[in-house]
Amino acid sequence: MVLSFRPVVAAALLFLPIALLPFVTFAQAPKLATGTLTVAFAAEATMLDPTRSSAGVDQYFFGQMFEQLVRPDPALKRVNWLAESWEVKEEDGKPLLDIHLRKGVKFHNGDPLTAEDFDYAFQRQSDKKISIWTHLQAAVERFEIVDPLHFRIHFKEGDGSYIANDLTLWAMPKHYMERVGDEAFERAPVGTGPWKFVSRSVKEEIRFEAFDDYWNTENRPTVKNLIIKVIPEDLTRVAAFKTHAVDWIDAVPPAMIEEFKKLPGVVTASYPAPNNMYISMDALTPESKFYDVRVRQALAYAINIDAIIKNVLFGQGERYVEVGKGELGYDSDLKPYPYDPKKARELLREAGFPNGFDTPCYNLTTPREPYQKEVGEAYFAYASAVGIRCKVQGQEYGTWISFGRRQREGHIDGLYSNMWGHGLPGDPGTAWAGHVHSYVPGKGWGATSVHSDPELDALVEELKRTMDIPQRAALIQKIARIKHERVAGGLTTYRPVVTFAWRDTVTFRAWPMAFWRSMQEVGLKQ
């Protein structure tokens, strides 16, 4: 019998393209956005307009729709975003930012992004009637449009925080906003981001649709619709996830993370929150016990931060020493004070307090971070154990935040559980200007500072002026070492860690934008 290969070859030739079709399709065609993803956030934004925003949490929503010139990528590396390129130059001895915009970027209403839109964003952010962030533009002298895709920001003096804040400006659609006005814009915002606004029901949900003309074809959502539900109560959010009402949740309660890790078909991931916790202490006047560096160091030796992270926070914290891992100027050689209560008692004795002393200790009772109240209690219990006997006073958030501000009469008179975010990837410049630099009324320095050190003041001021990134990193390392040695401007403790959970039918890659809640790359598996 003679076998003919001709039909086999013919069949192979016929079916081969069909067999390869899925691969060809995936390789060449853009990713199709289909389906609806429902997620749950623990907190809700108030404003959808980045310029009028009044709180960091607002980014949870507007961060899905609006974009900046640069942003950190998932590896916390700052990358050009709407800016194709940018550099710091000098003109007449003053710095300027020379920025070229990316071509082909469109707003959700179809308007092309131009330098005029950033000029408009700058004008709005400099207007005290519109924005509470005008001080971020205080060092800017003028905005110059070179051509539709090229502009310059001229500074009166160097402003390093401009760099640290991702060049501060958000792309705002000038023509659309001028046409509809602020109020209508709030109801129907338009940005350049991957998600287009559909509707919002306050205290309930916000709906988005993937923007088909989004400029970034590589890093974009592959699901058509996104619904963000607002579920503030931890256990309800967990229940919503377990009953499949939502497929992704933020802020898994720390006590339930181990349980979530064991759930079949569920993925969990943890990320450092852009908040830096520390303990302020009154080191302003010689009458204060904490004026003596040995007492401040005693406190540093007295508190077992690692144990607090492990046992109070269920591991949901990352210890940091002045500058967190991944932040600009992070120095892995800078080691934390070890837990050594014996050494703490010795230092107290040397400082003239063999029997310890009583001090007021202020704790936040309406936490902004998980278990913050309990962590504060643990700090003060450890302090009391070596002789820094805390008389703990609880404060709710409004009282706490007013109490810490130096604009009020007087200043704190003991220990104070505190926090000031360095952002993501993180740069401590703004925070240090606020709590390491001495308080200078009316000048913006030391808004919550209870410390005064002329050497550190000069270095922090230099840091504020420094826009060159390597120079800035070196300066941060220098300040961090001095600050750590002198326990100046507070004792740094930990950065909270936030954990998300999603079903394995969801694809999600966390971008640090919107405090890791950016739905930049999210989709549903087919």
Partner 1 sequence: MAGFLARRVMQGIISIIGASIIIFVISRLSGDPIAMLLPNDAPASMIEETRRNLGLDRPLWVQYLIFAQHALSGDFGNSYRWKMPALQLILARLPATIELAVCGLLFSVAIAVPVGVMSAVQRGGWIDRIGRIFAMLGQAMPAFWVGLLLILVFAIHLDWLPAFGYGSPSQLILPAISLGWYPVAAQTRIVRSAMLDVLDSDHIRLSRALGTPERLIVWKYALRNAAVPLLTMLGVYFAAMLGGAFVVETIFAWPGVGRTVVEAVFSRDFPVVQAGVLFTSILFVISNLLVDISYGIVDPRIRDAR
The binding site for partner 1 (CB under 8 A) comprises 46-47, 52, 54-55, 128-129, 132-135, 138, 183, 186, 201-204, 229-233, 235-237, 239-240, 242-243, 245, 366, 396-399, 401-402, 405, 407-408, 420, 430, 433-434, 441-444, 447-448
What's the closest the beta carbon of residue 138 comes to partner 1, in angstroms?
8
> In terms of CB distance, is 384 or 395 closer to partner 1?
395
The three state secondary structure string of 120-178 is HHHHHHCCCCCCCCHHHHCCEEEEEEEECCEEEEEECCCCHHHHHCCCCCECCCHHHHH
- Are 48 and 186 spatial neighbours (Cβ–Cβ below 8 Å)? yes
> In terms of CB distance, is 128 or 262 closer to partner 1?
128
> In terms of CB distance, is 221 or 429 closer to partner 1?
429
Can you tell me which residue has the tokens 């339930």?
A: 256
How far is the C-alpha of 464 from the C-alpha of 150, rounded, in Å? Answer: 26
**How many Cβ atoms sit within 10 Å of the Cβ of residue 319?**
15
What's the closest the beta carbon of residue 435 comes to partner 1, in angstroms?
8
What's the closest the beta carbon of residue 44 comes to partner 1, in angstroms?
9
b (16+ CB within 10 A) / e for 109-140: eeebbbbebbbbbbebbbeeeebebeebbebb
What's the closest the beta carbon of residue 457 comes to partner 1, in angstroms?
15
CA 210 vs. chain centroid, Å, equals: 24
**End-to-end Cα spacing for the chain:** 47
> In terms of CB distance, is 186 or 346 closer to partner 1?
186
> In terms of CB distance, is 291 or 403 closer to partner 1?
403
> In terms of CB distance, is 232 or 354 closer to partner 1?
232
> In terms of CB distance, is 199 or 366 closer to partner 1?
366
How far is the C-alpha of 116 from the C-alpha of 150, rounded, in Å? Answer: 10
φ, ψ at 218 (rounded to 5°): -85, -50
What's the closest the beta carbon of residue 238 comes to partner 1, in angstroms?
9
What's the closest the beta carbon of residue 187 comes to partner 1, in angstroms?
9
What's the closest the beta carbon of residue 15 comes to partner 1, in angstroms?
45
> In terms of CB distance, is 65 or 386 closer to partner 1?
65
φ, ψ at 66 (rounded to 5°): -115, 155
> In terms of CB distance, is 237 or 483 closer to partner 1?
237
How far is the C-alpha of 511 from the C-alpha of 520, rounded, in Å? Answer: 7
What's the closest the beta carbon of residue 406 comes to partner 1, in angstroms?
10
Nearest to 71 by CA among 525, 522, 518, 524: 518
> In terms of CB distance, is 437 or 483 closer to partner 1?
437
Partnered with residue 95 across adjacent β-strands are 90
What's the closest the beta carbon of residue 397 comes to partner 1, in angstroms?
6
How many residues make up the chain in this entry? 526
What's the closest the beta carbon of residue 382 comes to partner 1, in angstroms?
27
**In this structure, what token pair is assigned to residue 384?**
């009391």
How far is the C-alpha of 349 from the C-alpha of 412, rounded, in Å? Answer: 24
> In terms of CB distance, is 205 or 292 closer to partner 1?
205
- Are 449 and 439 spatial neighbours (Cβ–Cβ below 8 Å)? yes
How large is the angle between the packed helices 454-465 and 469-486, nearest 10 degrees? 160
Partnered with residue 226 across adjacent β-strands are 37, 208
What's the closest the beta carbon of residue 421 comes to partner 1, in angstroms?
9
